[in-house]
Chain A
Amino acid sequence: MDAPELERINALLDRDVELREKIKEQVNELDKKTRTMIGVLNKIHSTPPESMSALLDPVRLTLSSCQEATSALAELIPKNQFWRWKDMWSNSIRTAVFSAALIQYLSNRSLLSLGQASEILGIKAEWNDRMTLPVEDYLHGLISLVNELSRLAVNAVTLGNFEEPIKISIFVKELFAGFSMLNLKNDTLRRRFDSLKYDIKKIEEVVYDVSLRKLAEVPQTNSP
């Protein structure tokens, strides 16, 4: 290689390294926020329903502050290079989706849609070649949600809330039916999908215990 060519290649490589470091910085910021949220959200297992919204409000604030990180990333990523760099933050973004979905469920027992998740994280549609929320990451977030809800079913009963496991059971079964429609390849999503079955089993056992002792009314119309 002659000197100018060598210089050009080195310049290209240096540019990538610089970009990687800048992205890393933003991902660290995002990571700090998601960790804070997870820390607070752990307390849902020991929080009675009436004080739940007081617990969730500060988490909502942290969640919307994630928008700073996503817009900074959208600034950094060159056109068309979203998929080149996304592995650097997919874990953090999945955790953020999980937090958002959990808050949504605890607030009104509904499922956070992909569009809502993107909106909460401040991801704009016109960024789609630089920063977007891929279906895969969204689905990973939902699986984490089910993992967490199976724990919540147990702990809600401990707190004397016997209705909660039944609501969770209905919600998770619908979600599971949705996941069953997907043709998953043998990847991480597939492996995590398998974990849903164990979560459902755990939730069903709680529902069984509750209904056996007539602690709560199980709606019969739900069975197909």
Chain B
Amino acid sequence: MSTVTTSIQESFNAFRAELDDYNDRRERLIKTIFLLHRIAQGDVGETADDVELGKRAAQQGYQKLREIQGHFSKLQPELEGDKFWRYQRQVSPGLQEYIEALSLAHYLDHGSLITYEEVQRTLVDPQGIEYFPLPVSDYLLGLSDLTGELMRFAISSIARRGGRKKASQVCAFVRACKADFERMTPYIRELSKKQAVTAQSLEKIEDAAYAIVVRSSEYDLPPDMLDDIVAQSVSNYHSYGDETRQASGHRRGSGMSDDEDD
């Protein structure tokens, strides 16, 4: 009887060690991922504000992203071999945030969507060994978040010189992204939710573009002078929330003027 007891105790001792190891590692990963969240969010905010500086903003973004890559490289031993998929659920939020920031910097730099290969290539050590395999789902979900950032970028740049052209470029780009993701939605569970958010962002950009077209038709001016007028009239509005309110307010205003005509 006593031998049975000791063997049970011995094996459960081993189980305890293994479960503790799992839980500790899980917590360490969550901590690092939270850290990445904070850095990535700060990074996105900065690049989005710094519109005029396009490429230079992207360069700054890359600098910060390198810091994040440093954190990912520290995760490498924790996620070796089969361990990556065991902890993938813990890693993926931070990874998506990173891809969002990276793809925005890439867009500002090249005006195109970063490819899967390019993202994976940022996550390798100097010997070219991947820190961990990049899941396609995280790549696509990260890109899906990019559309929201681009919406902010487009709306806040409308007020600036040459921003209207940029906004219409972004509008076309986001539209293309949405179309591309549509076909992949059935494969990835969370993507359909993000598609809805993308649709909202796209609509906001389209509304803003519409408002600009309607209003600028009232003036028969070259684009340069129009830039000045727009800059003046929106100088009181800073956040995109005000911008969109202004756009919808415009429509309501035209409705009211119809009433007055009657």
Determine if A84 and B116 form an interchain contact, defined as CB atoms under 8 angstroms apart.
no
Determine if B115 and A5 form an interchain contact, defined as CB atoms under 8 angstroms apart.
yes
Q: Which residues of A contact B20 (CB under 8 A)?
A: 183
* Min CB gap A35→B, angstroms: 28
Q: Which residues of A contact B19 (CB under 8 A)?
A: 135-136, 182-184
State the main secondary structure of chain B at its contact with A.
helix
Q: Is A185 an interface residue (CB 8 A)?
A: yes
Determine if B23 and A13 form an interchain contact, defined as CB atoms under 8 angstroms apart.
no
Number of A residues near B (Cβ < 8 Å) is 37
Q: Which residues of B contact A113 (CB under 8 A)?
A: 7, 11
Q: Which residues of A contact B16 (CB under 8 A)?
A: 181-183
Interface stretch, picked from A36-44, A93-101, A143-151, A172-180, is A172-180
Interface stretch, picked from A23-31, A49-57, A75-83, A158-166, is A75-83
Determine if B12 and A1 form an interchain contact, defined as CB atoms under 8 angstroms apart.
no
- What is the total of A-B residue contacts with beta carbons within 8 Å? 90
Q: Is A10 an interface residue (CB 8 A)?
A: yes
State the main secondary structure of chain A at its contact with B.
helix
**Distance between Cα atoms of A175 and B15 in the complex (Å):** 13
8 A Cβ contacts from B140-159 to A:
140
Determine if A178 and B82 form an interchain contact, defined as CB atoms under 8 angstroms apart.
no
Contact partner, B187, options A16, A82, A181, Cβ 8 Å: A16
Most chain-B CB neighbours within 10 Å: which of A9, A12, A84, A181? A9
Instruction: Give the size range of B's interface with the partner.
Output: 35 or more
Contact partner, B85, options A6, A82, A181, Cβ 8 Å: A82
In the complex, what residue of chain B is closest to A80 when comparing beta carbons?
Answer: B82
Determine if B180 and A1 form an interchain contact, defined as CB atoms under 8 angstroms apart.
yes
**Distance between Cα atoms of A184 and B85 in the complex (Å):** 22
In the complex, what residue of chain B is closest to A221 when comparing beta carbons?
Answer: B1
Determine if A178 and B11 form an interchain contact, defined as CB atoms under 8 angstroms apart.
yes
Q: Which residues of B contact A135 (CB under 8 A)?
A: 15, 18-19
**9 closest Cβ contacts across the A-B interface?**
A178-B12, A83-B86, A84-B85, A83-B85, A129-B82, A13-B187, A80-B82, A178-B8, A1-B180
Having A114-B11, A177-B8, one finds 19 other A-B pairs with CB under 8 Å, namely A1-B113, A9-B116, A9-B136, A9-B140, A13-B184, A17-B187, A80-B84, A83-B82, A83-B85, A83-B88, A84-B88, A111-B8, A129-B82, A175-B8, A181-B9, A181-B12, A182-B12, A182-B19, A183-B16
Instruction: Show 14 residue pairs from A and B whose CB-CB distance is below 8 angstroms, ordered by the A residue.
Output: A1-B113, A1-B115, A5-B116, A13-B187, A13-B188, A80-B84, A82-B82, A83-B83, A83-B84, A83-B85, A135-B15, A181-B13, A182-B15, A222-B1
